[in-house]
Structure 1
Amino acid sequence: MGEINEALIRRIVLEVEKKLEEEEGLIPVGVSNRHVHLSEEDLYNLFGYGYELTKFKDLSQPGQFASKETVTIKGPKGKFENVRILGPVRNNTQVEISISDSFKLGIKTPVKESGDIENTPGIIIEGPNGSIEKDKGVIVALRHIHMPEDYAKKRGFKNGEMVTVLSEGIRKTAFYNVLVRVSNKYSLEMHIDIDEANSSGLKNGDKVKVVRK
């Protein structure tokens, strides 16, 4: 009974803390390292026809997961091995890297909203069953906030608007041009890449505050 009560108390405390943070306008941070999203066709080309990704762990966004499978990505100057594939499969293959990664690969990579792969560089992706050469699909993901509809409506945020986000700490930072993406499929979280996290001293789970310009 004591263990049950303790678990219930912990859950209540966490829920209260989350509510207070939301009331204060605080949003948790998710730091994104380099990763790959594959189309079904490209998954088959790399791992074999009919292959299905194996879930390694769930991610913060509902239905999204990190798979056990990894690939090698190669550019004109360098490569990265053991790059994690995120599931489920998508309509189009997309490789998300940081600006620092682009230097090692030897490609000039634009900052883009996830899903927008037009006018982006290509890359070679190697898997255990073969390799593919994509003529586009590599981006540095535009920093953004995944926001549930009820949260956005309550606070007056609109899908596609740009906001400013402030972080505290020894490397206190103002992030400008943060894209708001609103959907009931989302869990509240701001996504930044590893370069942005390192420069601002942020890590997964840290809280930041959204302000309007």
Structure 2
Amino acid sequence: MSNELQDKIFKAVMKRIQEIEEGPYVPIGVSNRHVHLSQEDLESLFGKNYRLTKLRDLKQPGQFAANETVTLKGPKGEIQHVRILGPIRSKTQVEISITDSFQLGISVPVRESGNIAGTPGIIIQGPKGIVKLKEGVIAALRHIHVPPEFAAKFQLKDKDMVDVEVGKERKTIFKNVLIRVSKNYVLEMHLDTDEANAAGLRNGDIGKIVK
């Protein structure tokens, strides 16, 4: 799907949400496995002074999918062509699904992004070298990026936990969904592929927040 088409779908979804009188509703984004890299680890994988090149912008401002991919290697198997997301971070973090963890042979905890203390490590292979990550592999805690005006309207606070009702044929209520409030966010709920598939969801579907 082209970047232009994705933008059109997202704008159409946001228009639908604005037209719905009952609320609060939120568009859903399905997040596939990906890697966030520190500059040091990027250079270990791709070469000295390497810089990521942008494939496409993501919905959250300043975030992008890079052209570059890596291979993840675990005790039982590997997963190739794992996308790197930019920009560069202070610490490397790998986000996978529980299904991915079975293939790799690691026991992965469900954590909020950035909370990687005590998490398992993994080997990351790039075209110029490898990184033996001591910790940093998580299954991301489902969450909603919320701009302040939306949070104020529906009395949501940063770090709140809510339920979200989604789906039609496979209607599901996701519990323990983390609210993350920032002026830098665009409204969007993030689920991983396991969660989305279980409820029959795709990018651009709509969920309803139930406090």
TM-score (norm 1): 0.91
For the residue of structure 2 that corresponds to 1:140, the secondary structure is strand
Q: In structure 1, what residue type is equivalent to 2:208?
A: K
Q: Is the 8 A contact 2:45 2:129 kept in 1?
A: yes
* Partner residue, 2:38: 39
Distance in 2, matches of 1:91 and 1:22, equals 42
* Segments of 4+ moved more than 3 angstroms: 12-18
Q: Give a deviation string over 1:59-112, Cα, whole Å, max 9, x none.
A: 011100000000000000000000000000001000000000000100000000
**Could you tell me which amino acid in structure 1 is paired with residue 35 of structure 2?**
V
Match of 2:69? 70
Counterpart of 1:87 in structure 2 is: 86
Task: Select the structure of larger CA radius of gyration.
Answer: 1
Structure 1 alignment gaps of length 5 or more: 1-11
Deviation at 1:168, TM superposition (A): 2.9
Give the deviation of 1:24 after TM superposition: 2.9
Q: Percent identity over the alignment?
A: 59
Give, in whole Å, the separation in 2 of the partners of 1:76 and 1:132.
Answer: 15
Q: Partner amino acid for 2:27? A: P
For 1:23 and 1:186, locate their aligned partners in 2 and report how far apart those are by CA, in whole Å. 22
1:119: how far off? 1.0
Q: CA RMSD in A?
A: 1.5
1:153 is matched with 152
User: Counterpart of 2:134?
Assistant: 135
Q: TM-score, normalised by structure 2?
A: 0.92
1:8 maps to what in 2? none
The residue identity in structure 2 corresponding to 1:35 is H
Are the equivalent residues in 1 in contact too, given 2:159–2:178 (CA < 8 A)?
yes
Is the contact made by 2:23 and 2:209 (CA closer than 8 Å) also made in structure 1? Answer: no
**How many residues of Structure 1 are paired with residues of Structure 2 in the alignment?**
201
Counterpart Cα distance in 2 of 1:22 and 1:120: 43
| Preserved contact between residue 66 and residue 84 of structure 2 (Cα < 8 Å) | yes
SS in 2 for 1:69: strand
**Which residue number in structure 2 is paired with residue 196 of structure 1?**
195
2:62 and 2:92 map into 1 onto residues whose CA distance is 18
1:100 aligns with 2:99: yes
Is the Cα contact below 8 Å between 2:72 and 2:124 reproduced in 1?
yes
* 1:49 CA drift (Å): 1.1
Which consecutive residues of structure 2, in runs of 5 or more, have no partner in the other structure? Answer: 1-10
